[in-house]
Amino acid sequence: APSAPICNAAIGACEKGLQWALALALLASMHAQRLGPSALASAAVIKACSSCWSWASALQLLEETRSARLCPGLAAHAAALG
C-alpha cells in the first residue's frame, strides 16, 4: 500500500495536471486506508476541483477538511469560493 507522502505527491501532480476526479479518488483512498490526509493534500484537491469548475466538490471538501480540524489555508479557501 502506498504511504501518505506518496499519495500527497500524487495528489499534488493531479492538481498541476487538472485531474480533479483522480485527486478526489486518491484522497478518498487515503481516508479508506486511514493514512490521514494532510491539510496540504486536501488543499491541493480543493484547488484542482476549483480549477476544473467542480465548485460543488471543492466546497464539500473544504467543509470536510474544516470538520476534520485541518487548516487547508487561505489559497484553498479562495479557490473553493472562486
- Count of all residues that appear for the chain in the document: 82
Query: Kindly report the CA angle at 52 between 24 and 10, in degrees rounded to 5?
Result: 40
pLDDT computed for residue 72 by the predictor: 66
Alpha-helical regions (H) of 1-82: 4-16, 20-32, 39-51, 55-67, 74-81
pLDDT in tens, the chain (82 residues): 678 889 989 988 998 998 989 999 998 898 888 887 678 888 888 888 887 777 788 778 778 877 777 666 666 666 666 6
Radius of gyration of the chain (CA): 11
pTM for the model stands at 0.74
